[in-house]
Amino acid sequence: MFGTGFIVNKRIKHLVTDFKAKTLRICKIHVRGLFFNYSLICVHAPMEEKDGDENANFYEDLDQIYKVCPKRDVKITIGDLNAKIGQEETYRPIIGKYSLHTLSNDNGIKLINFACSKNMVVASTLFNHKDIHKMTWRSPDGQTFNQIDHLLIDARHVSSVIDERTFRGANIDSDHYLLISKIRSQISNARNTYDSYARKFISEKLKSPETSSEYREKLNEFS
């Protein structure tokens, strides 16, 4: 019924150095970057109607997997947080002022508290888009729309997030809309290890008498 994961472009799959599934609701990958490495945490938080223990356990697990991320990594948390973030002025340094909702619900407060404790920012509520581009979930009757999918990033790297909005026209077979974030980053320029291996010289051939003789003849041509 639940599950989290990542789909990675094959062009950079060799830069993914680690994957860890903490629970059915939380998993993490580690991506090698040029100046910073990236720890990406994908989550699916319990709904607000769930009992308090399930919500508390979720944030305990999230806290644990965050703590094992290397200290210098750019840490990004993405996914369905089931949290309504409001526009409370008290939380402006963490949430900005462009949320779809006016008031945060209980799950929203939990998310804000988590972000505050980790010196993170809720980047999904920082951009001034039309309301239809903030909605991430639609009720089955099509009458209620919420912004409950979010992206959190370390405050010192928040300037790397240059945009985030939903794309309602994409058919993803879900009651959630496709949420796309644009993040300015530089991944590692390390080549795929397979490609590097394929380009190596086969030095064993130099031991062959035929190859050695051919090489000497070519040297004599240029001398």
Name the strands in the sheet holding 120-122, side by side, starting at the edge strand that comes first in the sequence: 16-23, 26-31, 38-44, 74-80, 149-154, 120-122
Give residue 19's pLDDT. 96
Q: What is the pLDDT of residue 196?
A: 47
Per-residue pLDDT reduced to its tens digit, 1-43:
568 999 999 999 999 999 999 999 999 999 999 889 999 999 9
What is the 8-class DSSP label of residue 127? S
136-145, 185-194, 207-216: which is most confident: 136-145
Whether the model pTM is above 0.75: yes
Task: Provide the residue ranges of all domains of the chain, joining segments of one domain with +.
Answer: 10-183, 193-222
Task: Compute the average pLDDT of residues 37-50.
Answer: 93
Q: How confident is the model at residue 200 (pLDDT cuts 50, 70, 90)?
A: low
> What CATH architecture does domain 10-183 belong to?
4-Layer Sandwich (3.60)
Name residue, tokens 């794309």.
Answer: 167
- Could you read off the pLDDT of 161-175 as tens digits, one per residue? 999 999 998 888 899
d(CA 105, CA 89): 15
Q: Which residue has the tokens 């993170």?
A: 120
Strands 149-154 and 145-146: unpaired
Q: DSSP secondary structure string, 32-87?
A: -BSSS-EEEEEEEPPPTTS-HHHHHHHHHHHHHHHHTS-TTSEEEEEEE-------
pLDDT in the model for residue 1:
58
**CA dist., res. 148 & res. 97, Å (int):** 16
Question: What does the pLDDT read at residue 192?
Answer: 62
